[in-house]
A and B are shown apart, each in its own frame.
Chain A
Amino acid sequence: GAVVSQHPSWVICKSGTSVKIECRSLDFQATTMFWYRQFPKQSLMLMATSNEGSKATYEQGVEKDKFLINHASLTLSTLTVTSAHPEDSSFYICSRRLAGGSYEQYFGPGTRLTVT
């Protein structure tokens, strides 16, 4: 069964508003989770690494003040898209990584964001 859930699965918002996306690890505590963005017909691009109890690490070119990440518990990470614009419309996917061993990542079902 699913080990990572995301909510909502899709959301439509107006330009200038903020949207929060939740990512939950359902079976194991996750000290590290990842947020990806996928544009149509493109591959997944890592946005940031979410670390429980500390600040997220953002990839080059990703605005940390626009994409706020909070990892306040070992099972929940949230991504807030602030002052959303139409160009932020995309498919956002989170993942949880096993600690040590294989470092295998398990992905959530994704959230489709449309900004009008």
Chain B
Amino acid sequence: KQEVTQIPAALSVPEGENLVLNCSFTDSAIYNLQWFRQDPGKGLTSLLLIQSSQREQTSGRLNASLDKSSGRSTLYIAASQPGDSATYLCAVTDSGGSNYKLTFGKGTLLTVNP
């Protein structure tokens, strides 16, 4: 059974700092990996999707990397802003006979202080 772990559970940084969020998964037979942002009491916003054949994806100040063989992904946020404060969730889509379901980590709660 796929398990996704995110470290740290919470992170507080001053505005302007670069930061890295970590995600690991136990079964490397994945189809893709997605990073989401969730604001309190809200749904999920997709940030980046990395296919299993890719190594990284970039969108603005965000860069996500994937090392499928070692079961790890990182989300790099450059020049953090108070508006980046949210919970960041990592999720993997299992390949094969799983009907391409998503398995989520518990998330990293990020607070960017002005």
Q: Could you list which residues of chain A lie within 8 angstroms of chain B, going by C-beta atoms? A: 6, 32, 34, 42-46, 49, 57, 91, 93, 95, 97, 102-110, 112
Contact of A106 among B32, B46, B99 (CB under 8 A): B46
Residues from chain A with a CB closer than 8 A to the CB of B42 are: 109-110
State A24–B104 Cα separation when bound (angstroms).
Answer: 22
Known A46-B102, A103-B100, A104-B49: A109·B34 in contact at CB below 8 Å: no
List, in ascending order, chain A residues with CB within 8 A of B104's CB.
Answer: 43-45
- Given known contacts A103-B32, A110-B42, A110-B43, is B106 in contact with A34 (CB within 8 Å)? no
Among A43, A49, A104, the most chain B Cβ lie within 10 Å of the Cβ of A43
Residues in A with CB closer than 8 Å to B34 are 104-105
A43 to B90, CA, bound (A): 10
Partner of A42, one of B51, B93, B106: B106
